[in-house]
Amino acid sequence: MKRMELGKAFTLMEPGPVVLVTTCDGQKNNIMTISWTMVLDFTPAFAITTGAWNHSYAALRKSRECVIAVPAVDLIDQVVGVGTCSGADTDKFEKFGLTPVKAKQVGAPLIRECLANLECKVVDIVSKHNIVVLEAVAAYFDQSRKEKRTIHAVGDGTFVVDGRRLDRRKMMRSKIPDGV
């Protein structure tokens, strides 16, 4: 998977795709499905909503690292599967045929099958609101992947797939960071 400029990586998260978040507790890799995410700044920093109700949370808090992997629509059943079982009793990489790939700057693995991967460090945990603040330190995008449409969880068990793309670059120029 090819490196992507960090300054463009927020564009992977801003549209709100459902993502897979990997962690490593020092021994075991795990994955959780997260739909509650937000961009915080262009560096990029992100927020995700998670807490002790997710088995991955302990590893995330301990290691202070994770990978955000962005799946495309052809992985929808893996995304739902990962989100409906627990790492407490399941090796999710094995169960769902996903391939962990060694990251460069964090212990959590990239997911080979995903469209994009973001290596992230935990910057802060706002426990009161179950918000984990992340800073991405490396980004990868699989340009060679044919299916690039991402999916958006509605929250009622349905998912909306990316449709057509509208260009408003000219109107937006004043608001877009240089180089994006």
Query: Given the rule CB under 8 A, which residues bind a copy of itself?
Result: 8, 10-11, 14-17, 35-41, 45, 47-49, 73, 76-77, 80-81, 83-84, 124, 126, 128-131, 133, 149, 151-176, 180
Task: Give 140 or 159: the residue with its C-beta nearer to a copy of itself.
Answer: 159
Task: Give 83 or 100: the residue with its C-beta nearer to a copy of itself.
Answer: 83
Smallest distance from a copy of itself to CB 2, Å: 18
Residue 154 CB contacts under 8 Å (≥ 6 apart), including other chains: 160
Residue pair 69/117 in contact by the 8 Å Cβ criterion: yes
In three-state secondary structure terms, 100 is strand
Residue 93 CB contacts under 8 Å (≥ 6 apart), including other chains: 29, 31, 99, 100, 109
Token couple for 118: 């973001």
Smallest distance from a copy of itself to CB 76, Å: 6
Residue 179 CB contacts under 8 Å (≥ 6 apart), including other chains: 5, 7, 8
Smallest distance from a copy of itself to CB 151, Å: 7
Smallest distance from a copy of itself to CB 26, Å: 28
In three-state secondary structure terms, 17 is coil
Task: Give 38 or 58: the residue with its C-beta nearer to a copy of itself.
Answer: 38
Task: Give 32 or 106: the residue with its C-beta nearer to a copy of itself.
Answer: 32
Smallest distance from a copy of itself to CB 48, Å: 8
Burial classification of residue 97, based on how many CB atoms lie within 10 Å of its CB (0-12 exposed, 13-18 middle, 19 or more buried): exposed
Task: Give 39 or 67: the residue with its C-beta nearer to a copy of itself.
Answer: 39
Task: Give 112 or 161: the residue with its C-beta nearer to a copy of itself.
Answer: 161
Smallest distance from a copy of itself to CB 103, Å: 24
Among the listed residues 53, 57, 59, the one whose alpha carbon sits nearest the alpha carbon of residue 27: 59
